[in-house]
Amino acid sequence: MNFTKMQGLGNDFIVIADRAELPADHAELAKRWCDRHFGIGADGVVYILPSEKADFSMRIINADGSEAEQCGNAIRCVAKYVFDRGLTEKRELTIETIGAGVQPVQLQVEAGHTVSVRVNMGEPILEGLRIPTTLDMNPVIDRPIYADGADFRFTAVSMGNPHSVIFVEDAPSFDLHRYGPLLEVHELFPKRVNVEFATVRSRDHVDMRVWERGAGPTLACGTGACATLVATVLNGKTDRTATVSLTGGDLLIEWAADNVIYMTGAAEFVFDGAV
């Protein structure tokens, strides 16, 4: 099986585009291939598949074998892959995901190669039971949560996958490994949750670190950056357009007047291989 290693702000993926459907053993394959010592090494495996509704569809299998409904960094990698490899000539195309449906993307192309991708990430889901949380509230803003002797307050957002955004004093130095795994499986989140720790630097700049459901700490999370902007706006901390700085780099996130979230950022080719 041929693959391409790609990354979006350091959130890295094994991209496979030569299949018509997921392999039956996709969960076990992801666990083996994503291992950074005994495999290829990645945060997840992304399959680019045919779609009856869009130009392409994508399926994302996390490093632990679970499936992610959506991934903002992965969709930028998919868009770059299909254009740069000649699978489409479109600079505006659609990609189907299981969590957010059909998503339009716009490519900025220079010298025949994609340099950045702007993704229509859809409208945020704010109803507690749909995110899902166990809280029958809309929206779920600044709610208490407890883990390992510490009290936090979270705002819940779904971008096709569930997120819990927690404001901390200094996100870059926050102890992800201590609290991330506990909050991921907290009883408030029946399908587990991605956890973002955010520090607002100004009305248009936020630092964020993420513990991803099924992957652990990653260098970037596109849907998490979108959820973080929504949370900062709901809590009155930023304007509706801001740069979200992650370990792997920056994403520009816009919450437009039509309630749609737009994410703009880069994606990069790393290497090709076969397994």
Which has the closest alpha carbon to 48: 85, 20, 8, 12?
20
Helix axes 72-84, 222-234, angle to 10 degrees: 140
- Predicted confidence at residue 36, as pLDDT, reads 96
Residue corresponding to tokens 């652990």: 216
* Number of independent structural domains in the chain: 2
Tell me: do 269 and 241 sit in the same domain: no
Tell me: do 110 and 175 sit in the same domain: no
Asked if the structure places residue 195 within a domain, the reply is yes
Average pLDDT of the segment spanning 69-81: 96
Alpha carbon distance 121, 236 (integer Å): 22
214 confidence band (pLDDT: 50, 70, 90): very high
> What is the CATH number for 115?
3.10.310.10
**Cβ-contact 243, 204 below 8 angstroms:** yes
Tell me: do 47 and 29 sit in the same domain: yes
Angle at CA 172, nearest 5°, toward 123 and 121?
15
Question: pLDDT tens, 19-53?
Answer: 999 999 999 999 999 999 999 999 999 999 999 99
**Cβ-contact 141, 155 below 8 angstroms:** yes
pLDDT surpasses 90 at 128: yes
167: tokens are: 């404001």
- Predicted confidence at residue 100, as pLDDT, reads 86
Asked if the structure places residue 116 within a domain, the reply is yes
pLDDT surpasses 90 at 17: yes
Tell me: do 153 and 235 sit in the same domain: yes
Torsion of CA 163, 122, 73, 146, to 10 degrees: -10
Asked if the structure places residue 135 within a domain, the reply is no
- Predicted confidence at residue 162, as pLDDT, reads 97
In eight-state DSSP terms, residue 220 is -
Asked if the structure places residue 134 within a domain, the reply is no
Asked if the structure places residue 213 within a domain, the reply is yes
- Predicted confidence at residue 50, as pLDDT, reads 97
Tell me: do 9 and 106 sit in the same domain: yes
Residues contacting 206, CB < 8 A, separation 6+: 198, 199, 200, 228, 229, 232, 238, 242, 243, 244, 245
Structural domain range at position 252: 140-256
Asked if the structure places residue 128 within a domain, the reply is no
Tell me: do 49 and 155 sit in the same domain: no
Asked if the structure places residue 246 within a domain, the reply is yes
Tell me: do 64 and 156 sit in the same domain: no
Tell me: do 187 and 94 sit in the same domain: no
Question: pLDDT tens, 150-169?
Answer: 999 999 999 999 999 999 99
- Predicted confidence at residue 64, as pLDDT, reads 96
- Which percentage of the chain shows pLDDT scores above 90? 98
121 confidence band (pLDDT: 50, 70, 90): very high
pLDDT surpasses 90 at 67: yes
Rg (alpha carbons) of the chain, rounded to whole number: 18
The beta-strand segments (E) located in 90-204 are: 92-97, 101-110, 113-120, 140-147, 150-158, 162-167, 194-202
Average pLDDT of the segment spanning 50-63: 97
Tell me: do 107 and 146 sit in the same domain: no
Tell me: do 43 and 99 sit in the same domain: yes
Alpha carbon distance 98, 72 (integer Å): 13
- Burial class of 77 by CB neighbour count within 10 A (0 to 12, 13 to 18, 19+): buried
Query: What integer best gives the mean pLDDT of the chain?
Result: 97
**Cβ-contact 189, 164 below 8 angstroms:** yes
Tell me: do 182 and 199 sit in the same domain: yes
Average pLDDT of the segment spanning 79-89: 98
Cα atoms found within 13 Å of the Cα of residue 143, Cβ hemisphere only: 18
Asked if the structure places residue 227 within a domain, the reply is yes
Tell me: do 173 and 86 sit in the same domain: no
Question: pLDDT tens, 225-263?
Answer: 999 999 999 999 999 999 999 999 999 999 999 999 999
Catalytic residues: 71, 221
